Amino acid sequence: MHWTSLDTSIVIVAALGAMACALLGSFLLLRRMSMMGDAISHAVLPGLVAAFLISGSRSAMAMLIGAAVVGILTAAFTQWVHQLGKVEESASMGVVFTALFAVGLVMIVRFADSVDLDPECVLYGAIELTPLDTVTLLGKPVARSAVVLAAVLLLDVAFVLAFYKELRISSFDPALATTLGIHARLMHYVLMTLVAMTTVACFESIGSILVIAMLIVPPAAAHLLTDRYGVLLLLSTLLGAASAGLGHLGAIWAPTWWGFEDTNTAGMMAVAAGLLFAAAVLFSPRHGIISRALQRLRLTLRITIEDVLGLLYRVEEQGLIIRPGAAIELLRRTTGSGWLGRLAMAELRRRRCIATMADGLRLTGAGRRAAASLIRSHRLWEAYTARHVALPTDHLHHSAERAEHFISRPMREALAGDLDGVRTDPQGRTIPNGGTALDPTKAGA
Amino acid sequence: MISAGEASSLRRRFRVRRVLGALLAAGVMLLLAHSAAMAGDAPSTPSASFDGAIEVSDHDLVRILTLRDYNTRVVVLGTALLGLAAGTVGVFMLLRKRALLGDALSHATLPGIGIAFIVMARSGGNGKWLPGLLLGAAISGAIGVAGVLLIRRWTRLKEDAALGVVLSVFFGLGVAILGVIQKMDTGNAAGLSSFIYGKTASMLAADTWLIAGAAGVVAVGCLLLFKEFGLLCFDLEFAGAQGWPTLLLDTLMLTLVILVTVIGLQAVGLILMIALLVIPPAAARFWTQRLSQMVLISAGIGAASGFVGSVVSATQPNLPAGAIIVLAASACFLISLTFGRARGVVFQFIERVRLERKTRCQHLLRAVFEWVEEGRGNGGVGATESKIPFSGLVRQRSWSRHRLDRIIVRAERDGLIERVGDTHVRLTSAGWDEARRVVRNHRLWELYLITHADIAPSHVDRDADELEHVLGQTMVRKLEGLLAEQAAATVPPSPHALA
């Protein structure tokens, strides 16, 4: 693998395009219109051909205008079909963009002699060739597409900064935006125009696959990582740039692992974005699958620990003693898994809440205090529901068994206050005194 | 009542009929494909491109339309059958709100095609062995669909983002793999791009056979599971609660979609495949409210677009068949959107205008009635002969004079009202009956709102204004039952001051 200045140049061009797309894509994502990026980038084809036929050249300006016009038309047609025909929005998008794409294809074939547009080139882009086409800027040769894409990126950033607040409100709540005097529909169409223009500006250099991927994937990944609007925009832009760099690296490096030569850079950039997305799905601190599984496991363990304490307290209350094996068997029957019970018991021993004596399990002083406050929560809740909710007595335990784990100390005292003077639960068992009891959550954590 | 035994025998008979129908459909498909491939002229140059025939005379047009040409027959029947199959499964996808899943699915097939090629070429076989490529496409398409569904279930992302992520990442991967293949020395990959663009015009008899087989499977599957698929589309929770294996049925439905897509891809290309899955069902939705009719119409539109599109592209040079088929389907969609019997724009417009006319006429009648009731007519309270001046009506309903004139002309035509001189009107006896009915409905609803919905008397007028026109017989009977005392009179008195 040889990284040359050519590679740096390719990555810069791709990163510029990726950032522009990812920035606008964030708004599409927030508006639940990610597929609009896909639709517009297919639908602009007739606009490109028309622009070519009218202007007679492949000048960037004509292409941008043609794309903008058709981009607006796509958004408008989709809206009309959706509203006039009551067709579901995604279906109306599917109807409109495939039809426009077909028109474009027919135009290309019909005017094949006069139109020098290759659908394959639009699809794949020719990012590997961009460093060869240079212009002189400040005395240095710079890739022409880098200049174009930098201009597009600047335009997009300027638009977002200028209408930061308006875009935010109209993305999250179009109705509120309208009542605040913001023209939500105008914002929508301006955004669609920008998407169409950005898309086309990127087509020539980085290809439509990469454009669609960058419009959708980095914003989706960023959305999994943050709940804040500003951070989302920034993160999605950064992820776009990172996918460009990683993708190119992957394109010249990854195939060699299996003994192949290098491959298409744009495709690998989309794959890199996909890998970043997969990482976000798995490892995002708040919304990731793994972190959510860990949270759930932690909660389950806490509840099992408290169940063990409750069990031992009730056993002691009746003057009995339980052996560790029997306790685990009981827990296995209620929670469905033996290892969770064993884990909970090990944790309790580590915290010195229970001890194994010769005749069986016993609570230590600290353990008894924690268990007492848990049982207090349970029986207070039973007494409370018995008094205020018309439930038969044999239905009280189930709700208390769930609630006991989430009753905090202030709530416990509020319950006790409400039940002023009540010393036993509806089954006639004593409610342990809360005066000296420790909060189980504090004793646990 | 039907006894349990009768019911079960009825059910059995229905099942038998369904199976018979399915077998019949499959038979027809196979027959069509067979006639396409076998009977008639022997194939002169079966692999020659369809676009080759550039000079088209009237004689050729007849030849094309009557499918006398071997190539034409292959292409026309192939695309028509594909349209039929896609239109059929597309209906369920549309109603299941998964219209664009076909988009993600067809893009997701690409890496599978590439990997299948590499595996087959490396193991020394022919890289372009079709069943292998199709299997690869189906597997990676299925992974893509599963990806969309899992992203939706496990993350906070919505449908659109899930589709977009899968679509673009899989397609990017596919392009990267094709890029690798292009630099391989084991074999050329020239044919693989036909999966993206399609090669409609150069379809072979074998392709048509394949499509016919897939269409047969789809037709049989949809007929056998028609009720179950319909249930899944309209009420998934209910289906689950009834004990249907919803996950299995859903998987079966998606399998049919994957089958059609994979078979259709190399015949007609990516975008066309999406169009065939989305456009015919969306068009069919404008014509009917019944699922069975919608499936038939959608399949018909799909087949017709395939047929018309490929025939048109055969008669003219430089018309890509795939694109023309999409345009034919789009034309069907536009026609349906405009003239569709159930939801078309024109039909809805006519309905609205009709309702508006009826509303205005009934408002006029009520205005006249209330005017007379108040005793403002020159004949005293309740005098059926009294004349009402235009000026009074204009004031009462805040109509413009011009609009009032038009309403009166129409009511006159219906025989409800007659002019007295240039400035007054009078109700005919039919008009009185109708006016009494309308006012009665209006006041019944007002009374209902006041007694049962606790709405202040000063607020009920506007609400009743809208409902008086659409209250049906049964609804009026119900109101009479609820308001027995107040409704005793032929026309109850107004519960609020009249304007």
Please write the tens of the pLDDT for every residue from A274-295: 999 999 999 998 888 999 999 9
What is the C-alpha separation between B300 and A329, in angstroms, rounded?
64
What is the C-alpha separation between A53 and A49, in angstroms, rounded?
6
Q: Report, as an integer, the average pLDDT of A187-206.
A: 84
- Give the pLDDT confidence score for residue B53 in this predicted structure: 41
Q: Which of A410, A412, A401 is nearest to A377 (CA)?
A: A412
CATH architecture of the domain formed by B4-336: Orthogonal Bundle (1.10)
- Give the pLDDT confidence score for residue B71 in this predicted structure: 75
Task: Pick A5-221's CATH classification: 3.90.1150.10, 3.20.20.60, 1.10.3470.10, 1.25.40.10.
Answer: 1.10.3470.10
Q: Which three-class secondary structure state does DSSP give residue B417?
A: strand
CA count, 13 A, side-chain hemisphere, A38: 31
Tell the residue number behind the tokens 């109708």, with chain if given: B434
d(CA B196, nearest CA chain A) in Å: 10
Q: Which of B361, B194, B336, B343 is nearest to B268 (CA)?
A: B194
What is the C-alpha separation between A132 and B350, in angstroms, rounded?
62
- Give the pLDDT confidence score for residue B139 in this predicted structure: 95
pLDDT tens-digit map of A125-171 = 677 777 777 777 776 777 778 888 899 899 999 999 999 988 989 88
Six token digits for residue B100: 């664009």
Q: Is the pLDDT of residue A202 over 70?
A: yes
Q: Which of B81, B137, B139 is nearest to B266 (CA)?
A: B137
Task: Determine, for residues B183 and A85 on separate chains, whether the beta-carbon distance falls below 8 Å.
Answer: no
CA count, 13 A, side-chain hemisphere, A196: 30
Q: Is the pLDDT of residue B370 over 90?
A: no
- Give the pLDDT confidence score for residue B111 in this predicted structure: 93
Percent of chain A with pLDDT strictly greater than 70: 93
Q: Is the pLDDT of residue B389 over 50?
A: yes
- Give the pLDDT confidence score for residue B138 in this predicted structure: 94
Q: Is the pLDDT of residue B45 over 50?
A: no
DSSP state of A132: G
pLDDT tens-digit map of A36-49 = 888 888 888 888 88
Q: Looking at beta carbons, which pairs linking A428-432 to residues 24 or more positions away fall under 8 Å? A: A429/A317, A429/A379, A431/A375, A431/A376, A431/A379, A431/A380, A431/A383, A432/A372, A432/A373, A432/A375, A432/A376, A432/A379
Percent of chain B with pLDDT strictly greater than 90: 28
Domain ranges of chain B: 4-336, 349-488
Tell the residue number behind the tokens 């998407």, with chain if given: A195
Q: Is the pLDDT of residue A389 over 70?
A: yes
Given CB atoms, is B197 within the 8 Å cutoff of chain A? yes
Six token digits for residue B106: 């067809």
Q: Mean pLDDT in chain B?
A: 81
Q: Report, as an integer, the average pLDDT of B288-296.
A: 92
Q: Report, as an integer, the average pLDDT of B453-457.
A: 81
State the pTM of this model: 0.80
What is the C-alpha separation between A336 and A339, in angstroms, rounded?
9
What is the C-alpha separation between B418 and B397, in angstroms, rounded?
19
- Give the pLDDT confidence score for residue A294 in this predicted structure: 92
Q: Which of B214, B136, B220 is nearest to B174 (CA)?
A: B136
Binning pLDDT at 50, 70 and 90, where does residue B1 land? Answer: very low
Task: Determine, for residues B100 and A90 on separate chains, whether the beta-carbon distance falls below 8 Å.
Answer: yes
Q: Report, as an integer, the average pLDDT of B406-411.
A: 86
pLDDT tens-digit map of B313-346 = 888 777 888 889 999 999 999 999 999 888 889 9
Chain B residues in contact with A267 by the CB 8 A cut-off are 171-179
Q: Report, as an integer, the average pLDDT of A324-352.
A: 83
Binning pLDDT at 50, 70 and 90, where does residue A124 land? Answer: low
Do B298 and B88 contact (CB within 8 A), yes or no? yes
Do A6 and A143 contact (CB within 8 A), yes or no? no
Given CB atoms, is A287 within the 8 Å cutoff of chain B? yes
Q: Report, as an integer, the average pLDDT of B114-129.
A: 83
Q: C-alpha dihedral over B114, B118, B121, B126, to 10 degrees? A: -20
Q: C-alpha dihedral over A268, B197, B99, B351, to 10 degrees? A: 140
Output b/e per residue, A343-376; b: 16+ Cβ within 10 A: bbbebbbeeebbeeeeebbbbeeebbbbbbbbbb
Q: Is the pLDDT of residue A239 over 90?
A: yes
Chain A residues in contact with B189 by the CB 8 A cut-off are none
- Give the pLDDT confidence score for residue B11 in this predicted structure: 62
Task: Pick B349-488's CATH classification: 1.10.10.10, 1.10.10.60, 3.20.20.150, 3.40.50.11740.
Answer: 1.10.10.10
Q: Which three-class secondary structure state does DSSP give residue A129?
A: helix
Binning pLDDT at 50, 70 and 90, where does residue B286 land? Answer: very high
- Give the pLDDT confidence score for residue A28 in this predicted structure: 92
- List of E strands, B115-241: none
**Of the ranges A252-261, B412-421, B430-439, which one carries the lowest mean pLDDT score?**
A252-261
**What DSSP element (H or E) covers B312?**
helix B291-315
Which of A90, A213, A264 comes nearest B169 by C-beta?
A213
ipTM of the shown complex: 0.84
For chain A, helix (H) and strand (E) counts, in that order, are 19, 4
Do A151 and A293 contact (CB within 8 A), yes or no? no
**Dihedral pair phi/psi, residue A356, rounded to 5°:** -95, 115
Per DSSP, the residues of B46-78 read TTS-GGG-----HHHHHHHHTT-SHHHHHHHHH
Which of A88, A213, A223 comes nearest B99 by C-beta?
A88
What is the C-alpha separation between A170 and A160, in angstroms, rounded?
13
Which of B161, B193, B323 comes nearest A216 by C-beta?
B161
Six token digits for residue B178: 């094709």
CATH architecture of the domain formed by A292-444: Orthogonal Bundle (1.10)
- Give the pLDDT confidence score for residue A275 in this predicted structure: 95
Mutate to test the interface with A, among B106, B118, B153, B165 (most CBs of A within 10 A): B165
Q: Is the pLDDT of residue A444 over 60?
A: no
Domain ranges of chain A: 5-221, 292-444
CA torsion sign for B234, B236, B242, B247 is: positive
Q: Is the pLDDT of residue B51 over 80?
A: no
Q: Is the pLDDT of residue A263 over 80?
A: no
What is the C-alpha separation between B53 and B43, in angstroms, rounded?
15
Task: Determine, for residues A92 and B282 on separate chains, whether the beta-carbon distance falls below 8 Å.
Answer: yes
Which of B94, B161, B337 comes nearest A220 by C-beta?
B161
- Give the pLDDT confidence score for residue B4 in this predicted structure: 57
Percent of chain B with pLDDT strictly greater than 70: 80
pLDDT tens-digit map of A54-102 = 887 767 778 788 888 888 899 899 989 998 888 888 899 999 999 998 8
A residues 342-401 lying closer than 8 A (beta carbon) to B: none
Do A380 and A419 contact (CB within 8 A), yes or no? yes
Six token digits for residue B442: 């209006």
